[in-house]
Amino acid sequence: MNGFRKCLSGISIVILCGVTTIISANAVPAHLKYQKIECVKNISDSSTIGQEFSEVSTKGSSQTALKSDSLIFQKIYAEALLRGHSYSLLGELCSMGPRLSGSDNAEKAIQWAVNELKKYSFDRVDTQSVMVPRWERGEKEQAWFYSEVFTQILRGNRLKGSDALEKMVHGVQFPSSPHPEWECESYLEQGLTPSKRYKMPVAALGGSVSGSVRAGLISVRTKRELDSLGKEGKLKGKIVLLARPMEESLLNTFQAYGGCVNQRVNGAVWCAPYGAVAVLVRSVSNRCDMHPHTGVTHYDPNIVKIPIAAVPTSISDILEYLSQKDPALEIALDLFCKTLPDRPSANILAETKGQMSPEKIIAFGGHFDSWDQGDGAHDDGAGCIHAWEALRILKAIGYQPKHTLRAVFWINEENGLRGGEEYARLSKAKNEVHIAALESDRGGFTPRGFGVDSVLMPGVKKYQAMLSEYGVGLLEMGGGGADIGPLKKYWSSIGFVSFIPDSQRYFDVHHAETDVFSSVNKRELELGAAAIAAMIYILDQELD
Ligand SMILES: [Zn+2]
């Protein structure tokens, strides 16, 4: 790290309280250079000014350097908010539908992105071939539950009057649900009539085998509980519901996600050895609704593969309740998934070449693939568009980086990480020295700050006050991300940065059919792109 700054251009622009004047750099009198930076207070549309910033900082004190940085930040934010491309680009991307690795749709979207990127005249737009796994959901899965107790509840309450159903909804005790008051989209609000069986939405987990089963249901929340029942032989021939909810008291929803996602990833491997015939998993979501949230699951080659699917949180509450009240409760589940041979796909790269050390690369991006539910708007269309827009913004404001800035859209993060692995491998094979990498994979929500590796933190800290002015002053120790992680194998001194937006709504839509363009707020997305552009500027300035 150092504080070196490069003189960027022979032109300087002076802003005198809102009036912009272009004069030769050499002709700028010292007092005007000072005035130039003093007069900038608010974010203004300063698109007409060019590459003037480092004129002052090169020759001035660290204080003037900071003021010059401040001007660059303003330009970045003005470009993002006044002339942003992020929202329309994400809209176009999402209009193509989901981008599951190995799907035709993903390949179409890759082609679209490459064609569009080429219109921006970046120094380089390219792809890297990657073989990706190919799992397909197949025909829409189906599931029902059979419960006489449930039928009695419906029938009995229907007879009691017009408000009885609502009363029943509140009256049914789900004492351990995180949504005891049912302030949610409820199954029982969907006009159910008493019946022999009740259809419920489910989504096969990514990688699941197909299967058609009908069996009784056992519900558990912990691995210990599961093992205990398993050892007693009570899971044999059963479908197991893994019903642990997210811990709602945790402010960081990613922490809550981490506390229960293992039942989704390992559910089949946990339950099959005890003779279970299928697994249902409570969706890993904070919302109480009727949308199943899929996600990757895995099998062990030495353990029999059983079908596994997510159920909506609303349904999980009902099934957990019924599994305790109705010994005759049964579930029927039909999954039609299939795994096909790997197929070629690609990572996408776009670059602005560095002026001083073009051989050194700062990479930043997100993953281009999504699940097949929804359109992957937040996960992780937003992350790719953040990177695309950050690269565009820095070019549009005339910033000439020291190092090569590379936006990367990695493929296959969701169910294989082949893109991230291959990217890192190729970086070493081609001796592309990576000095820093940033990943955005937490959605397009209001930016709050960044996770920053210790090696980068001292340099980044210098800008914390300025970042705070834009609402992104949160600097947590430790950066990283699934796709950039493999780079560390080859570039041990690399520093990682994670983009941190607000996390409260991310798991409402994560891996569900609700992760669509309309769930993304235009300004929040634009602010994210601006924050990342600002961070890339900081890294470029601070790294050797
Ligand atoms: Zn993601």
What digits encode the pLDDT tens for the residues 40-95?
334 444 443 334 444 334 444 666 776 799 999 999 999 999 999 999 999 999 99
> Average pLDDT of 295-310?
98
> DSSP states of 21-65 as a string?
EEEEGGG--HHHHHHHHHT--S----TT--S-HHHHHHHS-HHHH
> How sure is the predictor about 30, in pLDDT bands with cuts at 50, 70 and 90?
very low
All residues with CB under 5 Å from ion ligand 1: 379-380, 441
85-130+343-542 shares its CATH topology with 142-336: no
How far is the centre of ligand 1, averaged over its atoms, from the C-alpha of 240 (Å)? 27
pLDDT digits (tens, 9 = 90+) for 497-537: 999 999 999 999 999 999 999 999 999 999 999 999 999 99
> Average pLDDT of 102-113?
98
pLDDT at residue 2 tops 60: no
Pick from 54, 47, 90, 49: which is nearest to 70 by CA? 54
Q: How confident is the model at residue 135 (pLDDT cuts 50, 70, 90)?
A: very high
Q: Quote the pLDDT of residue 189.
A: 65
Q: Supply the pLDDT for residue 176.
A: 60
Q: What is the pLDDT of residues 242-270, one digit of tens each?
A: 999 999 999 999 999 999 999 999 999 99
Peptide bond into 375 cis (omega under 30): no
Burial letters 506-532, b for 16+ CB under 10 A, else e: bbbbbbbbbbbbebbeeebbbbbbbbb
pLDDT at 321: 85
Does the reported pTM lie above 0.75?
yes
Maximum Cα–Cα distance across the chain: 89
Label residue 305 by pLDDT band (50, 70, 90): very high
Q: How far is the CA of 512 from the centre of ligand 1 (A)?
A: 12
Ligand 1 centre distance from Cα of residue 496 (Å): 17
Domain parsing of the chain, residue ranges: 4-79, 85-130+343-542, 142-336
Measured in Å, residue 367 CA sits from the centre of ligand 1 at: 7
Share of the chain above pLDDT 70, in %: 82
Query: How many angstroms is it from 373 CA to the middle of ligand 1?
Result: 13
Average pLDDT, the chain: 87
pLDDT at 166 over 80: no
Q: For residue 104, how far is its CA from the centre of ligand 1 (angstroms)? A: 20
Please spell the DSSP secondary structure of 235-286, one letter per residue.
TTT-EEEE-PPP-TT-SSHHHHHHTTHHHHHHHHHHHGGGT--EEEEE-S-S
Mean pLDDT of 302-321: 94
Quick one: pLDDT at residue 132? Answer: 98
CA of 380 to the centre of ligand 1 (A): 5
Quote the pLDDT of residue 194: 86
Phi/psi of residue 445, nearest 5 degrees: -90, 175
For 380-421, the pLDDT digits (tens) are 999 999 999 999 999 999 999 999 999 999 999 999 999 999
Q: Is 13 exposed, middle or buried (CB count within 10 Å of its CB: 0-12, 13-18, 19+)?
A: buried
How many whole angstroms from 145 Cα to the centroid of ligand 1?
32
Find, among 321, 282, 342, the residue nearest to 149 by Cα: 321
Q: Based on DSSP, count helices (H) and strands (E) in the chain, helices before strands.
A: 18, 18
- Tell me the average pLDDT across 328-352: 98
Give residue 413 CA to ligand 1 midpoint distance, Å. 7
* Whole-number pLDDT of residue 302: 97
Q: How far is the centre of ligand 1, averaged over its atoms, from the C-alpha of 499 (Å)?
A: 12
Per-residue pLDDT, 410: 98
Residue 24 reports pLDDT greater than 60: no
Does the pLDDT value for residue 163 go beyond 70?
no
Fold of 142-336: Glucose Oxidase; domain 1 (3.50.30)
Distance of CA 370 to the CA centre of its chain: 9
User: What pLDDT is stored for residue 179 in this prediction?
Assistant: 61
pLDDT at 10 over 50: no
Distance 381 CA to ligand 1 centre (A): 9
**Per-residue pLDDT at 161 exceeds 90:** no
Distance of CA 104 to the CA centre of its chain: 22
Ligand 1 centroid–CA 277 distance in Å is 30
CB 194 within 8 Å of CB 155: yes
Task: Give residue 192's pLDDT.
Answer: 78
Whether the per-residue pLDDT at 452 is higher than 60: the answer is yes
- In this structure, the number of other CB atoms found within 10 A of the CB of residue 2 comes to 9
Report CA(508)–ligand 1 centroid distance (Å). 14
Q: What is the mean pLDDT of residues 448-455?
A: 98
Architecture per CATH, 85-130+343-542: 3-Layer(aba) Sandwich (3.40)
